[in-house]
Amino acid sequence: MRITTVALALFALAPLGGCTGTGNVLHYQLRHEYGVHDPQFPLTMGSLLGPALLPGNKVDTLVNGDRFFPAMLDAIRAAKRSVNLETYIYWSDTIGAEFTDALVDRARAGVKCHVLIDALGSLKFNAKDVDRMKAAGVHFRRYNPPKWFDPGALLAVDHRTHRKLLIVDGRIGFTGGAGIADEWRGDADSPHHWRDTQFRIEGPAVAQLQAAFADNWVQETGQVLHGDDYFPKLAPAGDHWAQVFASSVRGGSESMLLMFLLSLTAAERDVRLAHSYFVPDATTIRALLEARKRGVRVRVLTVGKITDLPVVRRASRAKWGELLKAGVEIHEYQPTMYHCKTLIVDGLWVSTGSANMDNRSFRLNDEANLNVLDPKFAAEQERLFDADLAKSRRVTYEEWESRPLGEKLLEGAARLLEWQL
């Protein structure tokens, strides 16, 4: 769902002669010193990167649109004080109309509703729906709209919000990989219904989710959201230790990359990566190869031939050689578009949310991931991963090496766009 962003960014940056606009890329140097079961790991993730992992959370896993859309809509319809929604994709289609109706109803009832959608990712959200929202009292903004007659602003078209955040009454939160569009409806039961997961959160980490939304809202509007309507006192709701980790170009976007690298460097036994857009940079590849040298089993589950953006798949496949040769297992999901974004390390640590393993998520987009340190939650995510793996096809090094010359040429060309993917 990123073709518009990529195309416009390439147009804007063409005069730069191929400069990435990201400046000097640091090659982080990390070595394995402790695992995810060591108390040092959560301390590092909370102190070095922040915010802290908090106890007392309840995180429910909602698999595919048939489960997460009703849960999200039920939460909005039950809102009493506030609804905050930030997303990259919000389209005026069937499910989009249901969300718009729910938000309009709550705003008319006096609930404070704020909607922040990406100006490029949500181009298919029409003006009629915007007018309906505003007339009902919804505070609505498009994130970083292109300013076509401002060359400096046009060059900033690369900076998008890719976050998927819904916070209701400051007490219930949702995040994951899904946008609001009909492609996410159903149960991954056809090529037109995508495979994705969302998460429902209660407990102290909801305030971190709210803070991520509030930060982008104040950046776009100048309006500071505070008080009990947005940040009520939150009692423990479960036994999950959780952290909402947000990154932004404005605040050092490579912090998301560092979070992934620290997670991979801590691995001692097992890494499972589920990523729809898997285009790892040299530093990430090195971390995966170092994990293999330590004897870590590494499995990658990514998109197959059914994809919304073939150029990303080609750029991904161009980079698989040394990973496959080192024993990294790479599998392509077959039934439909695979849009999940989850990292599971050693049956304890899970990072899931909006961030892909690619340059766009690490250096260009605003992203937000939910991190959970819990063996039962990790086991649940492993079961989902394994179920998806059973519907996937493993690619061997021999198959990859012997692919037709035409494919190699197309993949090589796609790699030239890696900085945008």
Residues annotated as catalytic are 162, 164, 169, 339, 341, 346
Region class of 330: left (phi > 0), else alpha (psi between -120 and 50), else beta: beta
User: What tokens were used for 156?
Assistant: 């900033």
Q: 244 forms bridges with which residues in the sheet? A: 370
The Cα–Cα gap between 65 and 197 comes to 8
Structure tokens at 256: 């998301």
85 contacts: CB under 8 Å, gap ≥ 6? 99, 103, 113, 114, 115, 116, 117, 165, 166
Per-residue tokens: 244 = 């909402």
CA distances from 194 to 49, 124, 240, 386 (A): 32, 18, 28, 17
Q: CB within 8 A of 258, min separation 6: which ones?
A: 28, 48, 49
Peptide bond into 51 cis (omega under 30): yes
Per-residue b/e over 241-251, b at no fewer than 16 CB within 10 Å?
A: bbbbbbbbbee
Torsion of CA 264, 266, 271, 276, to 10 degrees: -30
- Biggest alpha carbon–alpha carbon distance for the chain: 63
Q: Which of 315, 304, 88, 58 is nearest to 202 (CA)?
A: 58
